Amino acid sequence: MKLYELTIKDIAELYRKGEATPGQVVDELIKRIDALNPRLNAFISIDHEHINEQVKKAEQMLKGTSPHPLCGVPIAVKDIFTTKGIRTTCGSKMLENFIPSYDATVIEKLRHTGTIIIGKTNMDEFAMGSSTETSYFGPTLNPWALDRVPGGSSGGSASAVAADMAFGALGTDTGGSIRQPAALCGIVGLKPTYGRVSRYGMIAFASSLDQGGTMTKTVYDSALLLETISGFDPKDSTSANIPSERFTALLSSNLSNITIGVPEEYFIEGMDEDVQKAINVAIETMKSLGAKIMDIKLPHTKYAVAVYYILASSEASSNLARYDGVKYGYRAEGSTGLAEMYIKTRTQGFGKEVKRRIMLGTFALSAGYYAAFYGKAQKARRLITDDFNNAFKQCDVILAPTSPTPAFKLGAKLDDPLKMYLSDIFTIPVNLAGLPGISIPCGFTDDNLPIGMQLIGKQFDEKTILNVAYAYEQATNWYKKKPNL
Amino acid sequence: MAEKINIDVKKVAELAKLTFTDEELTVFISQFQAILEYISQINELELDNVEPMASPLPWTQRLREDNLQSAEPNTPESNQKMALANAPRSKNGFFVVPKVIE
């Protein structure tokens, strides 16, 4: 087995035993990236400039007493997190040359442990998309089938981890942007409870929905990354004042006291047959592991996509008003006045999908329409959340497909925004309710494309979904299968 | 079926500080119409007695004291330099923009 094929846990173990050094691991990984990234386009930038410095620091820290298990482990970071002195583009021409003056809180936490930040990954522009095709830096490809998308918006992170170009990655999830690409690339993607992970330094898309999280090869590695990046942050006014937990120490594969709810609304017409089959088999596996399975109802599910596109676009139109060509980012040349400069800058600096959402949000918030769209959507959001609250009176975890289909072909949905939006139909309700959700591999289609299963938990109960995911992973080992590259 | 909503796309673009070519507008309007029809399905819901939900968290957002918190090194000069570091154009410690008044 090659070093780059290992998990974070494996690498930490090698370091502990003195059988490998961060220098060796980084060298191997950079070779891997050099060989594969030109094809997959998973990274927007590799931090060549600071790699040696980071390696030296990690090697020093590993000599100390009880180094952190992430010390010296190379991790990739979605290009939405600000990194001090390292270009952060958010996948947009607007921020093509933006060099942040500060680290996001999650980056600061990783640096503190000696984690090596290897590079910044590709994404849909401003995280708006489900395929990583809206990136200004070109699409990322799916390592399992190079004519297919990796999902999105954290498609670069998903592709990088699935192709063994990073041992783990950070992503963000506003409507499914961690879980859907994790499913489409056959890795583990965890979106924590809203408020669990600091949003400071995470470039804003829709502030009441955005949440940072982890993308890894295994459930254990997700637990490890989550316990490292989570916790209260005074710099984020929505950060929950709830201490981080030692999720790795709490992992257990005992499901005998677990009741899993299966919502009938998530098994819809038009769902891929292989996905349906894989989920049914997974439910049987859960039963055989001792979990109790019950049918539940989430009756307002069908409204979730509509509610989401009103709220997310409204919040985006407000958040993205800051890109005016004055303080940072792109500025259009040749304007005769300030107003013209704003318009030219935004028209040239934003891509199609971003403009579409700014327009939708501006409309939904505009005089005469606010009550009919934004106001109603906020109320409908409550009904969707209440559905979950009612379901969780009966069950501990909800099991559903992550995505109705496996990875789709490049270009298949790009010209039909509504079709693209509907690919997040199973992940969006979780963001609206602010719940934690994890996607884990649960099989493959006949065409050898990965399928993901989603486990949804109660607020701040990441522990239980991690346990159920861990038990399933131990029983199935889907993660050991690798794409042929 | 949701009723057709006639929207003044040019007006919305003006509010959003964006412009579109006529060709872009044609495609855009039809996509926009489809999206609006889709999202109008929330009108089916009975929402009169439902409390709007702005945040998924069960508590209100924290406020903090309005104290100055600066990055290191913390001098007026270094802070100003940092604030201007990414400005497309600056001069003498100011952001420079095209003139506002004729």
Measured CA to CA in angstroms, residue A162 lies from A143, A159, A410, A441, B58 at distances of: 7, 5, 18, 11, 36
Give A418's contacts in chain B (Cβ within 8 Å).
31, 34-35, 38
Query: Residue B14 falls within a domain, yes or no?
Result: yes
Say if the Cβ atoms of A337 and B98 lie within 8 Å.
yes
**Does position B67 have pLDDT exceeding 90, yes or no?**
no
> What's residue B102's pLDDT?
63
Considering only A65-69, A404-408, B4-8, B51-55, which range has the smallest mean pLDDT? B4-8
Give A344's contacts in chain B (Cβ within 8 Å).
19
* pLDDT band, residue B2 (cuts 50/70/90): very low
Say if the Cβ atoms of A379 and B51 lie within 8 Å.
yes
Q: Catalytic annotation on A230?
A: no
Measured CA to CA in angstroms, residue A273 lies from A142, A192, B47 at distances of: 21, 29, 36
Task: Give the max Cα distance, chain B.
Answer: 62
Angstrom distance (rounded) from CA A52 to CA A292: 51
Domain with B13, as residue range(s), is: 9-44
Give A338's contacts in chain B (Cβ within 8 Å).
97-100
Chain A (383-402) residues lying within 8 Å, Cβ to Cβ, of chain B: 383, 385
| A271 contacts chain B (CB < 8 A) | no
Q: What is the DSSP string of chain B?
A: -PPP----HHHHHHHTT----HHHHHHHHHHHHHHHHHHGGGGGS--TTPPP-S-SSSSPPP--------PSS--HHHHHHHHHTT-SSEETTEE----S--
Interface test with A, best of B53, B59, B65, B90 (most A CBs within 10 A): B53
Write down the catalytic residue from A135, A157, A177, A239.
A177
Q: Catalytic annotation on A78?
A: yes
**Does position B8 have pLDDT exceeding 70, yes or no?**
yes
Q: In total, how many domains does chain B have?
A: 1
| B97 contacts chain A (CB < 8 A) | yes
Residue (of A237, A273, A290, A285) closest to A404 by Cα position: A273
Percent of chain B with pLDDT over 90: 48
Where exactly are the structural domains of chain A?
3-252
Q: Catalytic annotation on A177?
A: yes
Query: Residue B21 falls within a domain, yes or no?
Result: yes
Q: What CATH class has A3-252?
A: alpha beta
Query: Residue B16 falls within a domain, yes or no?
Result: yes
Residues of chain A under the 50 pLDDT cut: none
